[in-house]
Amino acid sequence: MSVGIQVGVTPAASCQYLPDQQEQLAVVMSADYHTPEKYAALLAAGFRRSGNLIYRPHCPQCQACQAIRIDVNQYQPSKSQKRHRSQLNRLEVKVRDQLDANWFALFQRYIAARHADGNMYPAKRQAFLDFIGSDWLSPRFIHLYQRDHHQLTLVAIAVTDVVDDGLSALYTFFEPEHRFSLGRVSIQAQLQLANSLELPWLYLGYQIDACSAMRYKADYYPHQRFINQQWRAFSWPVIPQ
C-alpha cells in the first residue's frame, strides 16, 4: 500500500458490540483507493467496506476486533459444518449480480425476528441497498432456495464482494424460522463459491472473542486473524470428526 494514503479517524462513540467500550474507526479518505484492485489490498490490511466507506477499527483502549479470513484451500469442516454442507446440498444455489425480486420481504422478516433491537430496525430498502452497494465495486448475491415440489422458495441471501484474492462476506439474511442453520449454511455456500473461483480466502469481517454474537467466525479452521498489523494463522484445536 502506498504511504501516501490519507486516513481520517471518527469521534469516539459507544461500541455496538462491547457496551463498556468506546469505538473509533479509521476511514480511508483517499479517493484513488476506491477501486476493486486497491480495495483488495486494503482488505488484506484489515479494512472492510460499508457502501463507499472503507474503514477498520481504530480504538486506542481496545484491540478486540480482529479481521478474520478462512483458508479456503486448507479448510476442513467440523462435524457440525459437515451437516451444514449437507443442508446446503438440499437447497438450490444461484449466484447472481442482482437481488431476487422477493429479497426485501425476506429481509424484513429477518430484521424483525433477529435484530428488532438494532439500528437496522425497521428494515429500510434504500438504506440496505446503500450499505451493500458502492460506486466502484458491485457485490455478488448468493441466493439459497428451498425446493418445494416444482417451486423454489427464497430462504437466504449472502451478499459477497469478489476481489483478487478472495471473497468478502458483506451481509447475510435468511428465513428466521427455517429448520436449517441458514447463517452457517450460507458460509458453506460462500466457501463453495470461493473454491469454484479458485480464490484462496473467505474474509468474514471482524472476530470479537468477547462478543457471543460474533464468536462463531472462529469456528472455521484453519483461519487467519489480523493482529498487530500482520496475519496470524490459527489451526484446529482438535482434529474435526
pLDDT over 70, % of the chain: 97
Q: Which residues form the domain of 58?
A: 7-67
pLDDT, one tens digit per residue, over 44-87 is 999 999 999 999 999 988 999 999 999 999 999 999 999 999 99
Residues 125 and 230 occupy one common structural domain = yes
- Predicted confidence (pLDDT) at residue 233 exceeds the cutoff of 60: yes
| Number of compact structural domains in the chain | 2
Residues 101 and 125 occupy one common structural domain = yes
Instruction: Name the grid cell of 191.
Output: 466457501
Per DSSP bridges, beta strands 166-174 and 201-207 are: parallel
- The pLDDT of residue 2: 44
- The pLDDT of residue 123: 98
Instruction: Name the grid cell of 91.
Output: 437447497
Tell me the pTM: 0.94
Residue 81 lies in a domain: yes
Residues 146 and 57 occupy one common structural domain = no
Residue 104, SS3 per DSSP = helix
Round the average pLDDT of the chain to a whole number and report it: 94
pLDDT, one tens digit per residue, over 27-37 is 999 989 999 99
pLDDT, one tens digit per residue, over 155-170 is 999 999 999 999 999 9
Q: Which of 52, 67, 82 is the last residue of a domain?
A: 67
- The pLDDT of residue 215: 86
Q: How far apart are CA 62 and CA 22, in angstroms?
A: 8
- Give the mean pLDDT of 142-152: 93
Residues 150 and 196 occupy one common structural domain = yes
Any idea which of 52-61, 100-109, 211-220 has the lowest mean pLDDT? Answer: 211-220
Residues 80 and 57 occupy one common structural domain = no
The total number of residues written for the chain in this structure: 241
Any idea which of 143-152, 174-183, 232-241 has the lowest mean pLDDT? Answer: 232-241
- The pLDDT of residue 207: 95
Of all helices (H) and strands (E), which one includes residue 39?
helix 36-43
Q: How far apart are CA 146 and CA 182, in angstroms?
A: 11
Residue 106 lies in a domain: yes
Q: How far apart are CA 241 and CA 238, in angstroms?
A: 9
Residues 108 and 40 occupy one common structural domain = no
pLDDT, one tens digit per residue, over 87-101 is 999 999 999 999 999
Residue 147: which CATH number?
3.40.630.30
Residues 57 and 135 occupy one common structural domain = no
C-alpha 150: how far from chain center: 32
| H-type alpha helices, 67-224 | 79-89, 103-114, 125-132, 182-196
Q: How far apart are CA 155 and CA 229, in angstroms?
A: 38
- The pLDDT of residue 3: 52
Residues 197 and 220 occupy one common structural domain = yes
| Exposed/middle/buried for residue 219 (C-beta within 10 Å: 0-12, 13-18, 19+) | middle
Residues 93 and 209 occupy one common structural domain = yes
- The pLDDT of residue 1: 44
The total of other beta-carbon atoms located within 10 Å of residue 14's CB is: 10
Name 9's Cβ contacts closer than 8 Å, sequence gap at least 6.
Answer: 24, 25, 26, 27, 58
Residues 122 and 224 occupy one common structural domain = yes
Residue 32 lies in a domain: yes
- Give the mean pLDDT of 9-15: 94
| Angle between the N-to-C axes of helices 79-89 and 182-196, in degrees from 0 to 180, rounded to the nearest 10 | 80
